[in-house]
């Protein structure tokens, strides 16, 4: 494949869920290079960002990648501001009122139930208007917040799947520290995972 052809491909979204990507030619976006069907939805992801991972749990089709000889971006971008206190807005102003998040509510309720069990105290899980270029999720004294300007409503659809639980656990582990590199953060993540598994096995959740 020539450099020109490689430049021509665009990133398209898989029919298998959000943040799951293939490559396609602009003239035929319904079919990925690997043959998979894709969503007609346009994606804002540039080819240069192919391979970037954030808290949303993106996945990229290896078959498409190989067929076009694309080198995934070396960047593993985690654009999150976890500490709610770092947000420039006052938290109270940015919360999405309950009547504007009906689609997300069942998912948020389930995450609140899980969070409150895992931290053994009531934990609030809410939507926040953080701007399109802002964070994805955050954690702080006000609880867990998800940025409604970045995450589509359908992402919260029940039943919750791996990316949703993974992001929730990531935020809850910040109960110990905001430093992703700290040993106590990694320990908290493992413990939360174990506690969650045991809760389901024992029927406590
Ligand atoms: Zn593919
Ligand atoms: Zn984090």
pLDDT, tens digit (0-9, with 9 covering 90-100), for 8-63: 888 888 887 667 889 998 888 889 999 998 886 667 677 777 877 666 667 889 99
CA of residue 67 to ligand 1 center, whole Å: 9
CA of 14 to the centre of ligand 1 (A): 8
- Whether 73 is in a domain gets the answer no
Ligand 1 centroid distance, CA of 166 (Å): 24
1: pLDDT strictly greater than 70: no
User: Could you tell me the residue range of the domain that residue 174 belongs to?
Assistant: 84-202
Pairwise CA distance, residues 163 & 72, whole Å: 21
Which pLDDT value is given to residue 34? 94
* Residues 55, 36: Cα–Cα separation, whole Å: 25
Of 25, 44, 68, which marks where a domain is finished?
68
Going from the Cα of 59 to the center of ligand 1, the distance in angstroms, rounded, reads 10
Residues 99 and 197 in one domain: yes
Residues in the chain: 205
Taking the CB of residue 117, how many other CB atoms lie within 10 A of it?
15
In a domain, 27, yes or no: yes
Helices (H), the chain: 3-8, 62-68, 91-94, 105-119, 162-172, 183-202
- What backbone phi and psi angles, to 5 degrees, belong to 48? -65, -20
117 and 90: one domain?
yes
- Count CA atoms within 13 Å of residue 53 on its CB side: 8
User: Mean pLDDT lowest for which of 12-16, 63-67, 81-85, 183-187?
Assistant: 81-85
Give distance in angstroms: CA of 31 to centre of ligand 2: 35
28 and 110 part of one domain: no
Closest listed residue to residue 114, CA positions, set 122, 105, 103, 126:
122
In a domain, 79, yes or no: no
Q: Which phi and psi angles does 185 have, rounded to 5°? A: -70, -45
Q: Which one of the ligands is nearest to 14 CA?
A: 1
Residues with CB under 5 A from ligand 2 (ion): 82
Report pLDDT digits (tens) over 146-162.
Answer: 988 888 898 999 999 88
pTM above 0.75, yes or no: no
Helices (H), 33-141: 62-68, 91-94, 105-119
CA of 170 to the centre of ligand 1 (A): 28
Query: Is the pLDDT reported for residue 205 higher than 50?
Result: yes
Number of domains in the chain: 2
């Amino acid at each position: 494949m020539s450099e020109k052809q490689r430049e021509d491909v665009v990133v398209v979204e898989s029919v298998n869920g959000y943040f799951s990507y293939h490559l396609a030619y602009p003239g035929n976006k319904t079919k990925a290079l690997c043959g998979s069907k894709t969503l007609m939805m346009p994606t804002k992801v540039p080819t240069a960002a192919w391979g970037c991972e954030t808290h949303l749990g993106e996945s990229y089709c290896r078959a498409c990648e190989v067929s076009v000889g694309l080198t995934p971006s070396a960047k593993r971008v985690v654009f999150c501001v976890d500490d709610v206190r770092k947000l420039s807005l006052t938290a109270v102003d940015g919360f999405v009122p309950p009547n504007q998040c009906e689609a997300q509510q069942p998912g948020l309720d389930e995450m609140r139930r899980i969070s409150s069990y895992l931290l053994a105290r009531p934990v609030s899980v809410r939507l926040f208007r953080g701007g399109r270029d802002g964070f994805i999720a955050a954690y702080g004294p006000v609880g867990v917040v998800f940025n409604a300007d970045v995450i589509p409503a359908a992402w919260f659809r029940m039943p919750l799947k791996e990316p949703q639980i993974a992001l929730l656990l990531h935020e809850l582990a910040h109960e110990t520290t905001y430093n992703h590199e700290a040993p106590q953060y990694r320990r908290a993540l493992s413990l939360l995972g174990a506690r969650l598994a045991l809760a389901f096995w024992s029927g406590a959740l």
